């Protein structure tokens, strides 16, 4: 198991076969093989590391259903490799189609989301762009340029919130190896499509965000008694912070309160596998 998108897990077995698997219904659909991704060996990973770290993120355009006659409408985009490039496929395809690079934002991708018939993605510099899957060929279109910030942004996330496109910045300290491996805060912005600017969001109301290796989501707290509104729930998605450093993985997870800026733990355990890190499974009943 390597990633999650909604109710669906993305799994890679020892034969490098990739599946979309629903743990609630036990239904699964096959994607092109892990070995069919281009630039497969642009890094010195062993087989176990290759399965866990080469395939960075997989996002679906829409969730498949059992015996769905419109399964061909499901498009899958994968972020892969040390350069975090993008490729697309459909369930049942034999190969991945790499997306040609048109702009620098196509590399070192931090996060992807399917939003209003487009795959939006953000790279390590904070550049946001999108691919419209109704267009052929796929051509990347910029949404915004980089941010100016005095704090170190460890990772960017894209989330849909009440029909808005959010960009979330995750901050960690710059000081020393031990303090570096610790989330210290988040900042949330929404994109104004009228003027092309990002506007800071001070409150999420009764919604909370769930971030990590998953497709990031926002959920209404009133639909559940197990989480609070106006908070960001995050899991440990910084494997480089503990692999090879003698640090137990999975410990940097918690709940960030947007109102007072505090972070509290939500689970006391640790991850038992470096290559299957903590992730969220979101039951369909919690979605609006």
Hey, where are the domains in the chain? 2-148
- pLDDT for 3 equals 63
pLDDT band at 69 (very low <50, low <70, confident <90, very high): very low
The DSSP call for residue 100 is P
Q: Is residue 75 pLDDT above 70, yes or no?
A: yes
Residues 156, 211, 58, 39: is their CA dihedral positive or negative? positive
pTM above 0.95, yes or no: no
pLDDT band at 286 (very low <50, low <70, confident <90, very high): low
Q: Is residue 74 pLDDT above 50, yes or no?
A: yes
pLDDT band at 190 (very low <50, low <70, confident <90, very high): very high
121, 129 in Cβ contact below 8 A?
A: yes
* Pairing label, strands 8-12, 3-5: antiparallel
How far apart, in Å, are the Cα atoms of 136 and each of 22, 71, 76, 133?
Answer: 30, 19, 16, 8
Give the tokens for residue 158: 């894209």
What string of DSSP letters covers 153-211?
EEEEEEEEETTEEEEEEEE---SSHHHHSS--EEEEEEEETTTTEEEE----TTEEEEE
């Amino acid at each position: 198991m390597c990633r999650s998108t909604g109710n669906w897990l993305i799994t890679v077995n020892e034969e490098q076969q990739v599946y979309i698997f629903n743990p609630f219904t036990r239904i699964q659909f096959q994607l092109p093989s892990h070995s069919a991704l281009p630039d497969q060996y642009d890094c010195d990973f062993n087989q176990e590391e290759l399965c866990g770290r080469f395939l960075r993120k997989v996002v679906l355009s829409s969730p498949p259903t059992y015996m769905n006659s419109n399964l061909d409408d499901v498009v899958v985009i994968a972020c892969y490799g040390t350069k975090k490039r993008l490729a697309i496929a459909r369930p049942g395809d034999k190969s991945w189609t790499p997306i040609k690079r048109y702009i620098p934002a196509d590399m070192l991708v931090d996060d992807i989301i399917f939003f209003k018939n487009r795959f939006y993605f953000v790279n390590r510099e904070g550049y946001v762009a999108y691919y419209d899957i109704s267009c052929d060929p796929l051509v990347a279109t910029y949404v915004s340029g980089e941010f100016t910030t005095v704090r170190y942004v460890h990772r960017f996330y894209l989330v849909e919130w009440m029909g808005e496109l959010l960009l979330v910045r995750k901050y960690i300290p710059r000081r020393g190896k031990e303090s570096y491996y610790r989330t210290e805060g988040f900042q949330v912005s929404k994109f104004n499509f009228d003027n092309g600017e990002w506007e800071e969001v001070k409150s999420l109301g009764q919604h909370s965000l769930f971030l990590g290796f998953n497709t990031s989501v926002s959920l209404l707290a009133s639909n559940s008694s197990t989480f609070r509104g106006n908070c960001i729930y995050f899991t440990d998605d910084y494997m480089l912070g503990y692999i090879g450093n003698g640090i137990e993985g999975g410990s940097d997870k918690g709940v960030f309160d947007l109102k007072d800026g505090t972070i509290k733990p939500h689970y006391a355990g640790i991850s038992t596998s470096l290559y299957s890190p903590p992730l969220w499974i979101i039951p369909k009943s919690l979605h609006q």
